[in-house]
Structure 1
């Protein structure tokens, strides 16, 4: 993607437009949530201003809302390559995961096992750990390699056993960016008839998704990570969804996907989701929306990969920085976790915010198992810079300059007598 097209792309984001006499923000906090595309803003405003309503009424605004949900499911089906009837909306990914976990209770007993990972955000750990605790089942972790920041998959046959009923794994780490070989995990899980839940929250903004090809049972993601509003999305394979005994009101719909959507949904959020998907679609080419979305995601990835290579090369060559990045050859998203020698993470990010208006996050990012294993919590966790398609080479160059300035003024070297 040329610099010219990136500048044109940036015009689609209200938060990036210059404001007179105000220093612009530089958004490096994509992993925590991207900025919202104008199409998403317009979709929400149009729905709100043209008349809001609840579902299943005879009047026009209600009929429009019914159609809005259908359009939302169809759009997600094209983005993720699933059936519209497999798409359910919710408050957020975490709430949906807990709801699904509670519904899986009848399928587990005290003799069963649940498998999670040390690399994942706790949103794809604790719902399933809670499920296991409620049923008296055993929890097993797929370990993370502390040197490569990848999952150790060599003993899958010993970790995922005949007793395993649920396997939950993230497609991409929200800290290190590591893209996990979920195909090997899914294949082993299916050998023992275990259900597979994939956390794709951090992956969907960067990688073209194919639910059918993955062959998992549940895929979870969030619209605010790909240019839309705060809205959770669950894709549940029909074969599982049909028999899932969800907690719901007695008169509420029994059929899928409505039965998981307890209470009134965030209709204006779904309108914004449609706008966000339209934004991605407009970046691509093809004769169908699916083809256009796939092409659009590929263009996003090409641009981000180019910038990511520069960021990775730079951080790897700063002696005072420790970069937590998987080795060359391991697929990764453009997300970088690092620490600065002897400096608390919050001190680093505060300085960037105050001096350069850069939005850079710090903490454990709910990947607390990994943070404990890598012993980063005493210094406040990691500093994390994450890229989005609206980031530019000039912003990366300014980040490099700023980090070198910070190190020269804040990193105190020990004198020989102190060693």
Structure 2
């Protein structure tokens, strides 16, 4: 007797999604999500309510202080549900870059001459420069795993070739913020672990696009930023609590000496952390899936990924058909992010012309400095980047393609 599988969870229609975002306008195609998303009303309200509520620094015996501690705990729990970690392993901070510099300082305290660190040319500079500088201070050597310049792929073998028994850490992105490439992080992590190295995975660009499970990825430390997934401007690093306990970060003497709190410098922005929890709760409600928050988040991001991949295919097909337009890379697994060049037009000029038509895209290196350098584009202004997120529409994609086609046809 055959069993009929249950229907897939229904994703909120894009028009309904857009109705939650007060900053969106039909006059502007906001194809700039890779640099930061807009926020839904639920997040705005959560931040405003937190500012209206009496809060104080943590550790006090009175109600306002307890409220602040609850807000922090709820933010840790929300991030843990989002990426599959444990709340006690969630380090909160202002952004991924600041946290990565801080973690690099703590992790590199045990490095010395002869030790090696691996970075990749596919990564955002925030997952390259902190490790280069930490290695320089420790006297360690940095080795680079290069992506394939033609396809944009970063095969696990490219990382394996630069590993040795002296490798202490491998820093790799879960998705390129410039060309969307999603390398096989699990295979890379397995290779790193086989030589006794830690993995530090930059999940900033991947987290808003795909379901995330840090354990399945093999990430020892996973970094993300809430302003990329419809939240306020904060960041987080998620790790095994046991690993965090082994690290000795630079801290003030009276600051917490245990748990993730000892990695968090200064007073946190409690109102923004209230917005983090609200953003994760809102994302968990994007489908009609039942279950706990983690289950609903996995259902939501599975559905979102499917919708975004359809829009990505539309964008790639449209731009590829335009004479004089060159797309950077053609990775098999990618997020809905595309960088491209238009013959005869500087990237900055293209972005400006598109802006005049109400189309928001980025131009430049987008901090993917090593990628642009490998492609020989640093001196010529980088590339134009269009990034599609959950509130973008097919009409906006078509609008971009038509505008680029008109630009390419212009003398």
Normalised TM-score (structure 1) = 0.93
Q: Deviations over 1:107-142 (max 9, x none)?
A: 211110000001111100011111110011110000
SS of corresponding position for 1:294 = helix
2:147–2:158 contact (8 Å) kept in structure 1: no
**1-structure distance, mates of 2:394, 2:218:** 37
Change (3 A) 1:16 1:99: same
2:75–2:277 contact (8 Å) kept in structure 1: yes
CA RMSD of aligned residues (A): 1.5
**1-structure distance, mates of 2:12, 2:45:** 24
Q: Deviations over 1:312-367 (max 9, x none)?
A: 1111111210001324xx2110000000002100110001111x211110000111
The Cα of 1:2 is off from its aligned counterpart by 9.0
SS of corresponding position for 1:159 = coil
The Cα of 1:210 is off from its aligned counterpart by 0.5
1:319 to 320, 323, 337: 323
**2-structure distance, mates of 1:188, 1:178:** 19
**2-structure distance, mates of 1:232, 1:3:** 27
Normalised TM-score (structure 2) = 0.95
Aligned match of 2:352: 350
**2-structure distance, mates of 1:36, 1:154:** 39
1:177–1:325 contact (8 Å) kept in structure 2: no
What pairs up with 1:93-172 in 2 under 5 angstroms?
93-172=96-175
The Cα of 1:198 is off from its aligned counterpart by 0.2
**2-structure distance, mates of 1:4, 1:75:** 21
What pairs up with 1:324-339 in 2 under 5 angstroms?
324-327=328-331, 330-339=332-341
Aligned match of 1:235: 238
Q: Which moved more, 1:301-310 or 1:3-12?
A: 3-12
Change (3 A) 1:259 1:155: same
Aligned match of 1:178: 181
Structure 1 unaligned regions, length at least 5: 19-23, 413-419
Change (3 A) 1:147 1:393: same
**1-structure distance, mates of 2:79, 2:328:** 33
Aligned match of 1:294: 298
**1-structure distance, mates of 2:284, 2:10:** 18
Q: Deviations over 1:34-59 (max 9, x none)?
A: 11111111110000012232112222
2:24 to 8, 16, 23: 16
**2-structure distance, mates of 1:195, 1:397:** 43
The Cα of 1:3 is off from its aligned counterpart by 10
Q: How many residues align?
A: 402
**2-structure distance, mates of 1:3, 1:177:** 23
Aligned match of 1:367: 368
SS of corresponding position for 2:199 = strand
SS of corresponding position for 2:117 = strand
SS of corresponding position for 2:114 = coil
Change (3 A) 1:299 1:4: closer
Alignment partner of 1:246 is 2:249: yes
Aligned match of 2:220: 217
Aligned match of 1:192: 195
**1-structure distance, mates of 2:38, 2:183:** 26
Aligned match of 1:417: none
Aligned match of 2:394: 393
2:112–2:138 contact (8 Å) kept in structure 1: yes
Aligned match of 1:30: 33
Q: Deviations over 1:280-325 (max 9, x none)?
A: 1111312111010111111211111111110011111112100013
1:343–1:379 contact (8 Å) kept in structure 2: no
**2-structure distance, mates of 1:369, 1:178:** 14
